[in-house]
């Protein structure tokens, strides 16, 4: 594969778990150069096991950012029509810049998984922040959809089998954005684990049920997916990176730093149609 470095002088990565259910910080890695086969194998295992990976002190450029993404799949593009994030000078990379002009909001300031309204939602997203608010703020919360699924009763798990939900992108990104139906419970293609796939920003009911019941169960699941028991709150530093798996986690960007500057770039990785479980 392009962008693979030599194994010579290889030092094992460190993988430090952040919470019982989600997140690990990766050390002994330099993302400004190609990874070796051994490093990549460890990184892929850590991603599957931990759902979100964090990196510190990585002064990456767009090519480094894209190289990391392409180890996991082709780079994708945002399907939303109206977004708070914008274009950068590189079509592969989106700019996430917020400052005193961002009084109308910031990207990701609601519980969600990225663009589940697309028929083929992104596998993952890699956010690099070079500038963060000087007095703190702008943390991102990540929550495990495996943990959310596993905490349901066996009765509820059985009830949800075979159900689908409409993910309506128009609710988030305006007219012209796609809508797509996906299974409520999906099986992660790499871990084999079951994950709840109900994006609170895009789903209003579950299909194939009486209206009140479909709305009520969707509301219950969305609320359940926000439980602090399943989440980890990440504090950014300048030149931190968060790389999350959209198939098994939700996230929420906290908008508590206005009018300070929080600025960086994001690349998203193309995924596959979410496979129903079992």
Number of amino acids touching ligand SIN (CB under 6 A): 9
Q: Which two tokens stand for residue 42?
A: 């460890």
When the beta carbons of 78 and 194 are compared against ligand SIN, the nearer one is: 78
When the beta carbons of 90 and 150 are compared against ligand SIN, the nearer one is: 90
How many CB atoms sit inside 10 A of residue 17's CB? 14
Catalytic residue among 21, 112, 167, 247: 112
> What whole-number distance in Å separates Cα of residue 268 and Cα of residue 139?
20
Minimum distance from CB of 39 to ligand SIN (Å)?
25
> What whole-number distance in Å separates Cα of residue 30 and Cα of residue 7?
14
The residue from 107, 115, 177, 201 that contacts ligand SIN (CB under 6 A) is: 107
The residue from 182, 193, 194, 251 that contacts ligand SIN (CB under 6 A) is: 251
Minimum distance from CB of 108 to ligand SIN (Å)?
2
125 near ligand SIN, rule: CB under 6 A: yes
193 near ligand SIN, rule: CB under 6 A: no
Annotated catalytic residue 182? no
Minimum distance from CB of 110 to ligand SIN (Å)?
9
Minimum distance from CB of 26 to ligand SIN (Å)?
18
Annotated catalytic residue 251? yes
102 near ligand SIN, rule: CB under 6 A: no
Annotated catalytic residue 266? yes
**Residues in CB range of 128: below 8 A, 6 or more apart:** 58, 60, 65, 239, 240, 241, 264, 265, 266
* Contacting positions for ligand SIN (CB under 6 A): 96, 107-108, 125, 127, 140, 251, 253, 266
């Amino acid at each position: 594969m392009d962008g693979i470095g030599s194994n010579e002088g290889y030092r094992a990565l460190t993988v430090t778990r952040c919470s019982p259910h989600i997140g690990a910080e990766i050390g002994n890695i330099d993302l400004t150069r190609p990874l070796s086969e051994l490093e990549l194998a460890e990184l892929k295992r850590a991603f599957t096991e931990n759902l979100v990976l964090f990196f510190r002190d990585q002064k990456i450029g767009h090519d480094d950012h894209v190289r990391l993404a392409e180890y996991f799949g082709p780079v994708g593009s945002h399907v939303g029509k109206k977004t708070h994030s914008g274009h950068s000078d590189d079509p592969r990379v989106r700019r996430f810049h917020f400052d005193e002009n961002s009084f109308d909001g910031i990207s990701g300031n609601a519980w969600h998984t990225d663009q589940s309204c697309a028929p083929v939602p992104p596998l993952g997203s890699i956010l690099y922040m070079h500038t963060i608010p000087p007095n703190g703020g702008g943390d991102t919360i990540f929550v495990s959809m495996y943990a959310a699924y596993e905490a349901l009763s066996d009765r509820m798990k059985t009830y949800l089998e075979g159900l689908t939900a409409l993910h309506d992108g128009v609710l988030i990104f305006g007219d012209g954005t796609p809508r797509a139906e996906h299974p409520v419970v999906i099986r992660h293609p790499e871990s084999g684990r079951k994950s709840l796939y109900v994006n609170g920003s895009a789903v209003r009911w579950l299909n194939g049920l009486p209206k009140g019941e479909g709305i009520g169960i969707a509301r219950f699941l969305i609320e359940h997916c926000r439980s602090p028991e399943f989440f980890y709150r990440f504090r950014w530093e300048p030149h931190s990176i968060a790389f999350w798996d959209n198939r098994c986690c939700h996230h929420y960007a906290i908008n508590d730093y206005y009018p300070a500057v929080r600025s960086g770039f994001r690349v998203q990785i193309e995924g596959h149609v979410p496979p129903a479980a079992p």
